[in-house]
Structure 1
Amino acid sequence: MHQPASFLSSISRGDPPTPPSSPPEKYLRWSFNQIAHASHTLAASLAASGIKPGMRIISFVNNGVEWHIMLRAALELNCLFAPLNPRVAFNEKEARHMMAMIGPSVLLVQDSNTAEHIQLHAPEAFGQASVKLFSTGGEDKADIPASWQDFAAFAENGIAGERVLKSLEVIRKPDDVTFIFTTSGTTNLPKGCPYTNSMCAGMISAYIQHSDLTRDPDRVSLCHMATSHIMGGVGYSMGFHCAGLKVVHPAATFDPGSSLKAINLERASDMPCVPALVYAMLAHPDFDQVNTDCIKHAHLGATTILPEVIKMSMEQLKADRASEAYGMTETGPALAHRYYDLSVKVPEIVTSGTILPGAKVRVCDPETNKPVPRGAAGECHIGGSFIIKEYWVGPTQRSRDAFYTDEHGLWIRTGDQAVMHDNGECQIVGRYKDMIIRGGENISPSAIESIILSKFDLVTEVVGVPDEIAGEIPIAVMSKKKGQEVDVSKVRQTLIKELGAAWVPEEIIDIKTLGIDDFPRTATGKVIKTKLQKMVIENRESQVNVYAGTDLLDTLTRVWTKLLGVSPGTLTPQTSIHDWADSLIQARFSAVLMRETGLLIQLQNLIDHPSIEGQAKLLSARGGSGAQSISDMKPDRDGPPGIHDMVHTSGDEARYKKTQDLAIETLKPLGLGWEDVEDVIPMNAIQETFVKYRRPQTSNHRHAFLCNGSSVDHLEKALKATLAHHSMLRTMAMYFDSHTSMHITIRPSEQWFSKCIRHLPAVKKAEDLAEVVYGDVELDNAHFPGPMMRFIIVYVEETKCAGLVYMVQHSIFDAVSLQLFLDDFDAMLTNPTTKLKPHVPYKAWADSYYNLQYSPIAKASVNWQANRLRGIYKNPEALFPIQRAPEWFKGSSEGWIDIKTGKPGPPRKALTKNGLGVKGITGQGTLKDIQALKIKHNIEGSQIVKAALAVVTTRHTKQPYALFGQSQAGRTWPFMLPWQANRMPPAMDVDGPAVQGTINKLPIHKSETVLDMLARLQAEQYELNRHAYAPMNQIVAVLNGHQTDIEVRNFDGKVKGAAWIESEGGEGDFVRDAFKRQVFNWLPVPPVFEYKRIQKVQVESRTDLCCLWNCIMLDQTTLMINPTWDDAQLYLEEVEGLLDELLRLSEKFAAEENWGKRVEEFV
């Protein structure tokens, strides 16, 4: 409708009349005969210019007649046709990439700006195109750029080319590639989706059949979607045309006024839409003057469709029916509703309909690709006749990474979360990548968006941003209508009522604060959430520090306002934060307040002082902000530590001299000396267990990351700057005596970095990082005496950026402190001028632990643990799994040393092939009533799985109790009275390892109910938390009959700690052995590896254990268990069996209907 009626009239055989109700001006309106004649004439002209079957054609045109006749000409010649969005021409990387990948012989553009940019950005491919066509669109004043031919004049020459066209031998094969549509790629470059003759024919036929297009000759396509997109080009253009129906293009690109005009003049009946198009048409000033009762079907898609959008389409736009459809560029339309089966009522649940003929759809476990039961959520996988077989990613490069094949054929993983209902309809519930995981709970952005839209008529997009405590937090970006007023506090209150506090966005911001008027969108109008998320993160980082207020009450109010995302003035001094913030937000407040302002307030303080006014009075009573508390913990000292800087010397000159001599001897092989020492820090008993040398990979982790956009030099500079900020990662180890092990932190210097950073030759792909020096007995480890963290930097050819692999010894980190390092490293990669924020120095925490480890509080903890475990050595049958090989090693045992003799140990034979044990397997289950257990009985979900592990263990041992280890996060200040700990900075920010381990001894009382057992375990867990820091070496000593650690005679720390207490064989040593058999590790939140510049490739834990049960809550009810194990002790089949037992029993214990049953029913 935007093109003049006279355009290309010389090749269209006539000038058809405009409709009776048309305005004074005429517009292009062709019959099927006319378009067929025009396209045939164009094909003849192309043939006369040397274009032959198999050659390739690219169009950079918007909606218009040029697209239609070029498509048909390409089909007649059996040439490949690639309709590209004209915007591609203006992106240098994308234009060069697409032109080189397709290698066109023919180019078609419609404006001089596009023509200029193609020639500028892709000169080589441009020069190889023999036919370059420029369409004026019928505008008389348009100038034809040099090197280009006028499209209309060129097409008219087809009459002379008829003889050449007839002479061509056009042989069509079903597998000839006919179309290339494009989709976004992970490298930010488009990927080509190749469609063959048979795929296109089948897809169009299925679309016509499923949409009932042949049933009503009055159906009219309102195609305001881009024809460069598969639904605009295939569905709403070719699909309607092949059914003999009319297609209307209101404008070159979507314009709401033009679309309304098309409805008015051409009585369009079927319109493809994303929600934004519906909103735009309803908001247009001409809407009230347009009769829309001709609209039969509003076909919605490209994003999660909310019931409110369906309602709006039917009640305000007056569409007879509205529905959601689903498909991808890679699959074509896969799910849709049959038009005549649709209800004229607004559905309560929006589904995408049923499967189109020829397509296959199933909902699978994203980890295993196995279908989940109907009604359960999983990942939507699509197969069938119409999905592409591969991506085009270069001139000859093809990618099949997103596809897999099984006994049912080829499938593609969509990344969308879906539910298949019993009636065969499929519901898309969100994107896995869009899901926000806040404190272990899955938060669906669409659920929040739906409530806000339905209750406030407000369009929002919700994205997740990283958070140091919660993992991720939701942020809502609102797009208000002109003159619309929004009370953010009412929005928040409504969300709390409808969804709960955890689902309330931390901020609700106006889109204009991001400097834009509309959300970033694809060509089809779909919101690009990754771009929006990036804009939100950058906006948050650029904001003026909210903590700038000098008044204490004002400062606290500002912090809470920011953290809660409420409007200024919402919170008063008397506001109780308990009414607004859950425990997770309160934990975040404590850490954020300390890090950003230096103000110190503990969680218990927030419980005791719920009002902001009360918190301000508490801080004021302490005599100031305490902003210097962290810096005071780490004195500014230029040289090495003095006698009073090392807590273990106790001011003794002889101990100081011995420390100095041992450190010099340890550092000499590295070319370092005493002047290079920054600090000497005592280890606690768990660190000592980690550091004790048994093999090169003793208690190691190996991680690999791709550093997108970073050169090798840039990565190295960022790494060195980050390491300078994290002293525990610049570490050597030594033994002062048989029960005092030490970390030596080294001052950052080029000499030190040369010993812990290595450059190796380039690798081809990102996944190759996982194999760099893998298994190398010299390089694939970090062990005593150090360096305790070693780095390898390589260049990755395919991604044109650097990659980082590091091996780190567990004695210098835990999950929390490593996250601090990765956050800072990513920040330095992103911006080398970043000033990293200080963390709580680890030395302060470790020195405090050392000083208090023999205090009355510590001794009480030791006695509690020892009394609980006393006598277990009399029952070795309780140990599980059984030991089949010497020692306990996950990962490689090459080069292992017998800890009792100090000599090499005999070879260990793997029972599981390919080193699978250290990588592990996974399984999932549903803990359906886990929240009810917490709310009704105050029992944490971890006790469900721990109880299940205890029962499963006793099934195999036939003993009355289960023994297994348990990781304890710690993250408190140990052996202090509450009033003392409350005055310390948040332990969450301690920059080093605070993790601890303990032993569970869990009796199984068969007559006990499940609920009673869970309550008993919860009560004991509180005590385990209280006594988590009881030093393991003291527990062992007490159980062995000693008051404290015994000194080992002739102890030689240089033999890597090869001989002490463990050789005694007493009751305490039995405890050490029991801890290594199996360890329960509970993670309420999945590990987050979402960064701006670094991308996880590999994470591998090589602890000296038999079996580690990592139990992770993926969302509110979904449990994932990831066991890793010692290949020499367990067969894969055994672990699979145990995993299945553990998952199934956990599910039963989590079901409320089983809580009253006796345990004996499950043993």
Structure 2
Amino acid sequence: MGCYVKDYVLYLGETNPLEKEPLVEETIAHRLAAVVAKYPSRIAVLTGERKLTYKQVDEQSDAIANFLSDSGIRASDRVAICLGNLAEYVVVIYACVKLGAVVVPMSTAYTEVQIVSVINHITASCLVLSTDISLPYKAPKPANELFGGLVLEEERIRRTPSLKQLLVIEKTPSTHTRQIFSGAAWFHDVLKEYHGKGLKKRTMLQSSDIINIQFTSGTTSTPKAACLTHKGLLNNAILVGDRLKLTELDILCCAPPIYHAFAFSLGVFSTMAFGCALLLPSESFNPIAVIDSIIEHNATVVYGVPTMFLAELEEIDKRSLDKSAFSSLRTGLIGGSIVPPVLRAKLKEKMNLSGLLNMYGMTELSPTVCTTCLEDEIEKHHNTVGAVLPHTEIKIVSRDDCHQTLRRGERGELLIGGYLLMKGYWEDEKRTSEAFAIDNSQQTSSDEPSSARKQKVWLRTGDEAVIRPDGMLKITGRIKDIIIRGGENIYPSEIENLLLQHKLISSIAVVGLPDDRYGEIVSAFIIPHEDAVVSQSSDAIDLDSRVALKPPSGMCNQFLQNVLTGDEIRDMVRVTLGRSSAPKYIFWASQIPLTATGKTEKYKLKEIGQAALKRGLKT
């Protein structure tokens, strides 16, 4: 892959004359057909004891597509899906892809009110559910208990009038269950009824058509619906697969949920594009299942976000597993947030993941902008999110003026251009216009008359970044998360990365809380390691009485070595990063609020911290 540099910005994009491979212009359905023809008997999806070959996925998705068509669902109609990581999920996705229906994945953590809101916002024509819903670390719950108003036909018609069909995956066959889901069609009944009939009607689709609407997890409680295309998703899946050097022999263990863009594109579509196997260890994230699946099926690739990998490392320690148990692993992707170097070092040591690639992206970007490469030296893996993918353009602009492009080496907001951009947020012109920056005099055409210059569209990421002299991209944090203490910018990720090196700290999140003198003050939420004994004193705030323990007097030195204090943490930060970065407030916690995809919900932490301080819990 080549690149060329101008003095103000590094561009890697469609206009790059050094790009060798053109973008793929086919639809996802065309790519699937080619892979099925080439690898009909290879395993496409693997879940526990179930295996589906590419031919079986093709036949089953034909059956579901025919059923949807007979139900009156046409190209561009929306199909909402609320499922865990099941093989049936993959089949439904490809059925929609063949029909041209728009796949709308929904979080299994949604409440009934949220699901109804999503369905009505996108006017979905079909809803796909399972009889039981699984969430991480929790026992499955019956869908009729979670979404009772959608299960009963009369109530469903009243609350979601656009729905033409409810398609249900039956976990445990039961006459009683079928009576509860009134007016529903049953997935495996549909497979039997339409088996062997082939796709009745093929829709003429374009690569520019919207095929997926992704609700962003975001950093607020008001998610947005990003509209993604065949071209964006398929090319992104192929280009990331190239970075991972995927082949038909790979077995990719995908721990993130399929309803998130990470697994939807880089799990489902990347494995299909290269004819390899998608291994789904469990319906919802379970570190035990991930470890078991990797070992049992000799997985070669693994995906996850930092919180998932941390949970897997804890499971490995509990079992005292040796690195040799993971000898089949050769690479993987880690994304979702900035990756602490200490975590990467542990994954290399414990899971044989010296070839783990960093990934940076956003739902609105199909979703990947850049990754590190297998050949990169360790410094790049530790300090950057890698090189920009081919056919993608980036630039850094002033945080105060998105039309002021900065020079390489300067920090500012990261903007993205190219094929991977979403078409916009579904029926939300205001948010769409806010997300895009329009450049009517793009720099690459500066020698042309203004009348000949094309309008350039950039997506504003909201992330602060810097392009290094070697072309590597370094993300320094979310702009809205940067703490401005008395006019000084403080970067939470730097503090988090430092403190994660402490042997008694399991997890940490740093946020800014309001302060009368400085405007904002550094505050740290810390989950101590299970072996830690937290000092119960005035130097920190105990949010959970299960965490804080005052060490008894006269205990042995070994016990005292496991004592964790707020002052020790402040000193550690002060010595390395300076006095202003040392957290004024430290909160001991047993858990940190996360999105369903493992990202820290910092806005919630700010609310928790402010509430604690208002109650008089001051240091």
Q: TM-score range by the shorter chain?
A: 0.7 to 0.9
Match among 188, 207, 211 for residue 174 of structure 1: 207
Match among 371, 378, 397 for residue 405 of structure 2: 371
Contact kept, 8 Å, 1:273 with 1:300, in 2: the verdict is: yes
Q: Residues of 2 paired with 1:318 and 1:197: CA distance?
A: 35
Match among 416, 425, 432 for residue 399 of structure 1: 432
In structure 1, the residue corresponding to 2:183 is in which secondary structure?
coil
Q: Residues of 1 paired with 2:58 and 2:288: CA distance?
A: 30
Partner of 1:255: 286
Q: Residues of 2 paired with 1:299 and 1:26: CA distance?
A: 22
The Cα offsets for residues 35-83 of structure 1, whole Å up to 9 and x where unpaired, read as: 1111111112222333222322111111111111101111111111111
Match among 28, 42, 51 for residue 29 of structure 1: 51
The Cα offsets for residues 392-431 of structure 1, whole Å up to 9 and x where unpaired, read as: 156x987321102214421111111111011111000111
AA partner of residue 346 (structure 2): M
Contact kept, 8 Å, 1:257 with 1:281, in 2: the verdict is: yes
Match among 484, 487, 502 for residue 532 of structure 2: 484
Q: Residues of 1 paired with 2:53 and 2:320: CA distance?
A: 29
Cα distance change, pair 322–457 in 1 and its aligned pair in 2 (3 A): farther
Q: CA RMSD in A?
A: 2.7
Greater RCO structure (CA 8 Å; 6+ sep): 2
Partner of 2:348: 314
Partner of 1:300: 334
Contact kept, 8 Å, 1:86 with 1:114, in 2: the verdict is: no
Partner of 1:532: 605
Quote how far apart the aligned CAs of 1:91 are. Answer: 5.3
Match among 129, 134, 137 for residue 109 of structure 1: 129
**Structure with a larger share of its residues in strand:** 2
In structure 2, the residue corresponding to 1:154 is in which secondary structure?
helix
Contact kept, 8 Å, 1:463 with 1:475, in 2: the verdict is: yes
Partner of 1:436: 483
AA partner of residue 33 (structure 1): K
Quote how far apart the aligned CAs of 1:210 are. Answer: 3.2
AA partner of residue 462 (structure 1): V
AA partner of residue 375 (structure 1): G
Q: Residues of 2 paired with 1:348 and 1:65: CA distance?
A: 33
Contact kept, 8 Å, 2:219 with 2:603, in 1: the verdict is: no
Match among 65, 82, 88 for residue 60 of structure 1: 82
In structure 1, the residue corresponding to 2:326 is in which secondary structure?
coil
Partner of 1:461: 509
Quote how far apart the aligned CAs of 1:204 are. Answer: 2.4
The Cα offsets for residues 903-940 of structure 1, whole Å up to 9 and x where unpaired, read as: xxxxxxxxxxxxxxxxxxxxxxxxxxxxxxxxxxxxxx
Asked if residue 414 in structure 1 is aligned to residue 450 in structure 2, the reply is no
Q: Residues of 2 paired with 1:227 and 1:220: CA distance?
A: 16
AA partner of residue 467 (structure 1): D
Partner of 2:101: 79
Partner of 2:580: 502
Cα distance change, pair 122–437 in 1 and its aligned pair in 2 (3 A): farther
Q: Residues of 2 paired with 1:133 and 1:323: CA distance?
A: 38
The Cα offsets for residues 777-817 of structure 1, whole Å up to 9 and x where unpaired, read as: xxxxxxxxxxxxxxxxxxxxxxxxxxxxxxxxxxxxxxxxx
The Cα offsets for residues 1085-1105 of structure 1, whole Å up to 9 and x where unpaired, read as: xxxxxxxxxxxxxxxxxxxxx
Partner of 2:257: 226
Cα distance change, pair 449–364 in 1 and its aligned pair in 2 (3 A): same
Partner of 2:451: none
Match among 517, 523, 533 for residue 596 of structure 2: 523
Contact kept, 8 Å, 2:392 with 2:419, in 1: the verdict is: yes
Q: Residues of 2 paired with 1:125 and 1:443: CA distance?
A: 47
Q: Residues of 2 paired with 1:35 and 1:161: CA distance?
A: 14
Q: Residues of 1 paired with 2:286 and 2:391: CA distance?
A: 35
AA partner of residue 350 (structure 1): N
Quote how far apart the aligned CAs of 1:452 are. Answer: 1.1
**Structure with a larger share of its residues in helix:** 1
Contact kept, 8 Å, 1:97 with 1:189, in 2: the verdict is: no
Unaligned runs of 5+ in 1: 1-15, 512-516, 547-561, 563-1163
Asked if residue 193 in structure 1 is aligned to residue 226 in structure 2, the reply is yes
AA partner of residue 335 (structure 1): V
Match among 355, 359, 374 for residue 392 of structure 2: 359
Quote how far apart the aligned CAs of 1:199 are. Answer: 2.2
TM-score, structure 2 as length reference: 0.77
Match among 408, 415, 424 for residue 390 of structure 1: 424
Partner of 2:571: 493
Quote how far apart the aligned CAs of 1:208 are. Answer: 2.5
AA partner of residue 158 (structure 1): Y
Contact kept, 8 Å, 1:327 with 1:333, in 2: the verdict is: yes
Quote how far apart the aligned CAs of 1:138 are. Answer: 5.4
Cα distance change, pair 17–207 in 1 and its aligned pair in 2 (3 A): closer
Partner of 1:450: 497
Partner of 2:319: 286
AA partner of residue 521 (structure 2): I
Unaligned runs of 5+ in 2: 1-40, 132-142, 443-455, 534-563
Q: Residues of 2 paired with 1:142 and 1:461: CA distance?
A: 46
In structure 2, the residue corresponding to 1:461 is in which secondary structure?
strand
Contact kept, 8 Å, 1:223 with 1:247, in 2: the verdict is: yes
Number of corresponding residues: 512
Quote how far apart the aligned CAs of 1:316 are. Answer: 2.5
Match among 238, 241, 247 for residue 208 of structure 1: 241
Q: Percent sequence identity over matched residues?
A: 24
Q: Residues of 2 paired with 1:487 and 1:280: CA distance?
A: 24
Q: Residues of 2 paired with 1:107 and 1:415: CA distance?
A: 33
In structure 2, the residue corresponding to 1:62 is in which secondary structure?
coil
Structure 1 residues 348-357 or 524-533, which shifts more? 348-357
Contact kept, 8 Å, 1:325 with 1:333, in 2: the verdict is: no
Match among 170, 180, 205 for residue 136 of structure 1: 170
Quote how far apart the aligned CAs of 1:286 are. Answer: 3.4
Q: Residues of 2 paired with 1:403 and 1:148: CA distance?
A: 41
Partner of 2:67: 45
The Cα offsets for residues 224-268 of structure 1, whole Å up to 9 and x where unpaired, read as: 101111110110221122111111000001100000011111112
In structure 2, the residue corresponding to 1:537 is in which secondary structure?
helix
Partner of 1:271: 302
Q: Residues of 2 paired with 1:509 and 1:186: CA distance?
A: 21
AA partner of residue 279 (structure 2): V
TM-score, structure 1 as length reference: 0.42
Aligned counterparts, 1:942-1091, within 5 A: none
Asked if residue 473 in structure 1 is aligned to residue 521 in structure 2, the reply is yes
Contact kept, 8 Å, 1:211 with 1:337, in 2: the verdict is: no
Q: Residues of 2 paired with 1:469 and 1:122: CA distance?
A: 54
Partner of 2:182: 146
Q: Residues of 1 paired with 2:99 and 2:354: CA distance?
A: 41
In structure 2, the residue corresponding to 1:478 is in which secondary structure?
strand
